[in-house]
Amino acid sequence: MKHFCVGKTKLALSKIGIGGAAFKDHEDSKAAKQVIEFALKNGINYIDTSPWYIRSEEILGEVLHNISRSKYIISSKCGRFFSNDILEWFDFSYDKITESIDTSIKVLGCKYLDICFCHDIEFASSIEIILNEALPAMSKAKKAGKIKYIGISGYPLEKLKMIVDSSTVKIDVILSYCKYSLNDTELLDYMSWFEEKEIGVINASPFAMGLLTDSGPPSWHSAKPETKEAAKEATIFCANEGVPITRLALQFSTSNPRLPVTLVGCENVEQLKENLKVISEEPSQEDLVLTNTVREKFFRDNHSWEGIAEEKYWQKVKAEMEKVSSVYWKMQNATATRIP
C-alpha cells in the first residue's frame, strides 16, 4: 500500500482510508474490529469518523483501545452532531467546537486527533461563525496539542475556497466528497488553486454516497431525479457488460495522482478485500474504455446536487422553529387564561 503526504502535512496517509460513516448503524464493534485489523495488516493506516456518524466514534474507540497510537492516523470532525432534534444538528460556536474536540478524543481514546475537520461548513448560519468562532477554537486546540492539523469539509467547493481565502487561521487540509467520481469531476477545476495555497486535499465517497452501486442511493440522497436515473442506467449498462459499476468507480476515483488519498466506506471485511483487490490491479484497457463510455453516455451533463441538501435543511429548521413558537404561545395563552 502506497502512502502519501497531502499538502504541507507530515502525515503519510494510505492510498485509501477507512470511512467511519460505514459503522454508524452497527450495534457492536465486531465488524468494525475485523475491518480495522485487516486494514492495518494490509497497509491502510488512515481512519476517518465524526460525531455525526451516530455510534462510529464509540465503536472505533472500542476497536482502537488495544492498538498502538503509532499504528494509525485518525481524523474526526466538529460542528455537526447526531441528534433527534434537527435544531441541534449544527453548532459552530467556539465553546461547542472546543467541547466537541475534547469529547471525540475521549470517546476515541486516541490522545489527539491527527486532523480535525470543521464538518459541512455550508450548513453554517453564516461564514462569520466559521471564521470567528469555529476555526479560532480549532486553532487553540492545535496549539494545545489536541489536534495536529486543521481541516474543513463540505460539498460546495466554492464555499470551501471562500473559507480558505478568508480565514486568518491556517487551514491545512480540505475533505471533498462526491466531487471526483464518475458522475462529477468538479474538484479538478479547483485543484490548481488548492495546490497553489499548499492545501492538502483528501477525496471521499468514490461511490457518490451509494449512487454508483448496485443497490442505489439511500432515500435521503440529495441527487436530482435525473441524476439518480442516469446512475441507475449506468449501473445496468455496466452489469450487462459484465463489470460492476463499483469497480469502475473506485478505479476512477483512486487513479488521479493529484488526488492520491481517497476515503472509502467499508461495512465489512468482504467489502474491504474487494476494494483492496480493485486498487491493487492496474485497470485493464477494457475497463478504461468502459469507464470513458459510461462517463460520456450517462454523465456528460451537470450531475451536482449542490444547494439541495441545504435548502431542505433550512426548510425543516423553519418548520421546527414555527412549531416550537406555536407551542410556546399556546402555553403563554393557557397561562394567561388561568390568571384571575
Q: Which residues are catalytic?
A: 53
Assigned C-alpha cell, 311: 435548502
User: Who contacts 230 (Cβ-Cβ below 8 Å, separation ≥6)?
Assistant: 183, 298, 299, 301, 303
Which of 185, 190, 174, 196 has its CA nearest to residue 263? 174
What lies within 8 Å, CB to CB, of 35 at 6+ separation is 18, 22, 266, 267, 268, 269, 272
First to last CA, the chain: 78
Q: What is the Cα 214 distance to its own chain's centre?
A: 21
| Phi and psi angles of residue 270, each rounded to the nearest 5 degrees, phi first | -60, -45
* Whole-angstrom distance, CA of residue 104 vs CA of residue 112: 9
- Residue 255: count other Cβ atoms within 10 Å of its Cβ: 14
Within 10 angstroms of residue 224's Cβ, the number of other Cβ atoms is 13
- Would you say 91 and 77 are in contact if contact means Cβ atoms under 8 Å apart? no
Residue 85 sits at the vertex; the CA angle it makes with 316 and 80, to the nearest 5 degrees, is: 85
Per the listing, cell 471526483 goes with 180
Record the cell numbers describing residue 93, joined without a space. 460556536
